[in-house]
A and B are shown apart, each in its own frame.
Chain A
Amino acid sequence: GDSVTQMEGPVTLSEEAFLTINCTYTATGYPSLFWYVQYPGEGLQLLLKATKADDKGSNKGFEATYRKETTSFHLEKGSVQVSDSAVYFCALPVNQGGKLIFGQGTELSVKP
């Protein structure tokens, strides 16, 4: 069945470091792919999305490219800030009804 696998956390980086959080998926067809972010004590916020192969989603300096050939949607940011500290979830819809399955989440901690 469909699944999402994320790299394990926690990830600890210094401010201005480069970030990569890996996400790979198994899916039937070519669904949209999403990254959601959960800041401490808050709910899930959509960070970015890509709707088809080779699309690049971007927001707040974060980027992720939908790679069909490697079934990946890795999240990257060139220079992280302390305010980026959060848990990041990769997700994909498994049917037309919009049901999402999530990766296990990757906690990012950015130190000054």
Chain B
Amino acid sequence: EPEVTQTPSHQVTQMGQEVILRCVPISNHLYFYWYRQILGQKVEFLVSFYNNEISEKSEIFDDQFSVERPDGSNFTLKIRSTKLEDSAMYFCASMDISGNTIYFGEGSWLTVV
């Protein structure tokens, strides 16, 4: 079964450093997303991406965050200058054109120290 893959599975970074989280969505999907889950809390929407541009973003997704689809397969989330409160599990997700179901990756644990 096709799946969304994410790398790295876990990253530890120092406060103020830049981090790039990578995702390979399911190949025929056209909608891409990033969500995050702070430990013990609800899964929160960060951003959606369609047709090579951001279609929606949450209040969390400020100027420190950016997304990119650098080629036909990868979808990246960049945090420019990490803060302690960015420590969370970050999930990539994708959806096909029918819009029926969103599939999530395994997540990338980001720990900012």
| Contact surface of A with B, Cβ cutoff 8 Å | 32, 34, 36, 42-46, 49, 51, 89, 91, 93, 95-105
Q: Is B42 touching A95 in the complex (CB atoms < 8 A)?
A: no
The one of A43, A89, A91, A99 in contact with B105, judged by C-beta atoms closer than 8 angstroms, is: A43
| Contact surface of B with A, Cβ cutoff 8 Å | 6, 31, 33, 35, 41-45, 48, 50, 55-56, 89, 91, 95, 99-107
Determine the distance from Cα of A82 to Cα of B50 in the docked complex, in whole angstroms. 40
Distance between A87 CB and nearest chain B CB, rounded to angstroms: 10
Distance between B56 CB and nearest chain A CB, rounded to angstroms: 6
Q: Is B45 touching A100 in the complex (CB atoms < 8 A)?
A: yes
Q: Is B106 touching A43 in the complex (CB atoms < 8 A)?
A: yes
Q: Is A43 touching B56 in the complex (CB atoms < 8 A)?
A: no
Residue of A nearest to B31 (CB): A98
Q: How many A-B residue pairs have CB under 8 A?
A: 60
Q: Is A98 touching B106 in the complex (CB atoms < 8 A)?
A: no
Q: Is B99 touching A44 in the complex (CB atoms < 8 A)?
A: no
Distance between B88 CB and nearest chain A CB, rounded to angstroms: 13
What does DSSP make chain B's interface, helix, strand, loop or mixed? strand
Residue of B nearest to A96 (CB): B99
Q: Is B42 touching A45 in the complex (CB atoms < 8 A)?
A: no
Q: Is A46 touching B31 in the complex (CB atoms < 8 A)?
A: no
**Given the complex, which residues of A lie within 8 Å of B95, measured CB to CB?**
98
**Given the complex, which residues of A lie within 8 Å of B105, measured CB to CB?**
43
Distance between B101 CB and nearest chain A CB, rounded to angstroms: 6
Q: Is B100 touching A51 in the complex (CB atoms < 8 A)?
A: yes
**Given the complex, which residues of A lie within 8 Å of B45, measured CB to CB?**
99-101
Distance between B103 CB and nearest chain A CB, rounded to angstroms: 7
Q: Is B43 touching A99 in the complex (CB atoms < 8 A)?
A: no
Determine the distance from Cα of A32 to Cα of B99 in the docked complex, in whole angstroms. 10
**Given the complex, which residues of A lie within 8 Å of B44, measured CB to CB?**
102
Q: Is A97 touching B31 in the complex (CB atoms < 8 A)?
A: yes
Distance between A28 CB and nearest chain B CB, rounded to angstroms: 16
